[in-house]
Amino acid sequence: MSNNRGALVIIGGAEDKEGECQVLREFVRRAGGTKARIVIMTAATELPRDVGENYIRVFERLGAEDARIVDTETREDARSSTALEAIEKATGIFFTGGDQARITDILKDTDIDALIHKRFGEGVVVGGTSAGAAVMPDVMIVEGDGETHPRMDTVELGPGMAFLPGVVIDQHFSQRGRLGRLISALAQQPAVLGFGIDENTAMVVTDNQFEVIGQGSVTIVDESEATYTNVSEILKDEPLAICGSRLHILPHGYKFDLKTRKPILENLTSDNSNLNTVATNGNVATSQATV
């Protein structure tokens, strides 16, 4: 990611909207704080008014200067001059949850899609929760089974919005037992990094690294040094075998370097920096494990 691009605030879903709002607060802060002008993209949901107005209330309570809905129910709506004007003036663009396939079906390769990428390249912050997180890569998880072992038929993939290409992202991760489907998705396309984001948790991506914000953790599966897989030998409903992959689990405050594919641990105390696990804020950060 080039230095002039905006931050990505990628949220695992079910973020706090009533209390401290730690994750959404970070989005507003990075979008300009009290000068933030936020556009809420509701393409994913079939209840755009209800969902959008809920986010308007939260963003305004947190001090944003302006928050407004851009509702696109059809691809025709994605050429709306009113919508394009709002995006042109925005400092933050936020994709709600719902069905990620609706986002790509309605918005991908439209005028709105092109403008959002242009604004992102100019430094505008782009955020998304749940379905809005799933669309961030260039190839996204459309749907799939949770709480199952990895198989090729566990997950269906499709084109994403390509804000963070070359990775796979899954959301509601620990809560819905989605490790198997994340590994299955990685096995099906040429990404080597998979990110599973817990609920009320975000990975905030700037330049070539991200920081974890929120109550849960981000699970990282790194297949760049995998020593074996049986993908070429099995049928779709047969179990995957993968050897030599790496697993990192990072809670709030931990950072990860996307170029080196390693956690950033230099700010930890010297007593903890050589350990595989570091307890922090009641969570466990696993800096490196082989699976």
Are 200 and 16 a contacting pair, CB within 8 Å? yes
Integer Cα distance of 90 and 84 in angstroms: 10
Integer Cα distance of 256 and 289 in angstroms: 15
**Is position 53 annotated as part of the catalytic site?**
no
Count of residues making up the chain: 291
Query: Greatest CA span in the chain, whole angstroms?
Result: 58
**Is position 149 annotated as part of the catalytic site?**
no
Name the one residue in this structure whose structure tokens are 């002039």.
4
Are 149 and 114 a contacting pair, CB within 8 Å? no
Angle 88-39-87 from CA coordinates, rounded to 5°? 15
Select which of 15, 26, 184, 199 is catalytic.
199
* Total Cβ atoms within 10 A of residue 104: 21
Integer Cα distance of 139 and 159 in angstroms: 5
Select which of 15, 172, 245, 252 is catalytic.
172
Contacts of 146 (CB under 8 A, 6+ apart): 176, 177, 178, 180, 181
Integer Cα distance of 242 and 226 in angstroms: 7
Integer Cα distance of 95 and 86 in angstroms: 14
Name the one residue in this structure whose structure tokens are 């996204």.
140
* Total Cβ atoms within 10 A of residue 145: 17
Contacts of 82 (CB under 8 A, 6+ apart): none
Tell me the sheet residues that pair with 178: none
Q: How many helices (H) and strands (E) are present in the chain, helices listed first?
A: 7, 19
**Is position 199 annotated as part of the catalytic site?**
yes
Select which of 130, 184, 245, 287 is catalytic.
130
The residues annotated with a catalytic role in the active site are 130, 172, 199
